[in-house]
Amino acid sequence: MKFYMAPGSCTTGIHILLEELDLAFEVYIVNLPAGDHLKPDYLAINPKSTIPTLVLDDGRPLTEFQAIAWWLARSYPKARLLPEDAVGETLVLETMDYVVQTLHGQGFARIFATDKFALRPEDHEAIKEQGRQIVAKGFAILDSVLAGGSYLTGAFSIADAALFYVEFWADKLGIELPPNCQSHFRLMLSRPAVRRVLREEGYHSLVA
């Protein structure tokens, strides 16, 4: 398989899942600031110009975090990255969608890509503050889900990989995580696959 990613982005979550499954894959770095995602060769693979992209052995590209994560879980069921019952699986998908669509797509996007939400520079700080409020509310909601500070459904799942990458962003930005989210972040940092990924992506200080 071929994995198109950018270190420290949302693709870190998929990178973790690939490592958890101990799969063989080739890594291709997509340099977003350089516009690699807009170049013809990448658009031929993923016309959405988004990351991550996972190209399967048969050449078929998969895009969107949730879709790739779900495919990995369903394709390798022995790893138990999804609960076996329908309600449990639904809760994992619900939580993962909330992380990706709301915390990432609405909250952190306003912080990292402010100019996409406000054309006038004088509005940028207000947009960033709105993003911080969305992030804070989102983490507060997920903190209540993480009763006891363990994994989201009691056992590691694809939703935990999604939650980790936004917790990782919060840590980088100095955004304080509520207690259970902080415990979850530390729990994830103790996983060997997570530590390998962070070293490979250049974040050695977190796993020193």
Q: Are strands 2-5 and 26-29 parallel, antiparallel or unpaired?
A: parallel
- Which residue matches tokens 């998969």? 62
pLDDT at 147: 82
Nearest Cα neighbor of 188 from 74, 172, 158, 122 is: 158
**Among 9, 150, 157, 205, which one carries the catalytic annotation?**
9
pLDDT at 149: 66
Is residue 142 within 8 Å of 150, Cβ to Cβ? Answer: no
Global pTM reads 0.96
For the chain, 208 residues long, give each residue's pLDDT as a single digit of tens: 999 999 999 999 999 999 999 999 999 999 999 999 999 999 999 999 999 999 999 999 999 999 999 999 999 999 999 999 999 999 999 999 999 999 999 999 999 999 999 989 999 999 999 999 999 999 999 999 998 769 998 899 999 999 999 999 999 999 999 999 999 999 999 999 999 999 999 999 898 7
183 catalytic? Reply is no
- Domains of the chain by start residue, with CATH: 2-79 (3.40.30.10), 86-191 (1.20.1050.10)
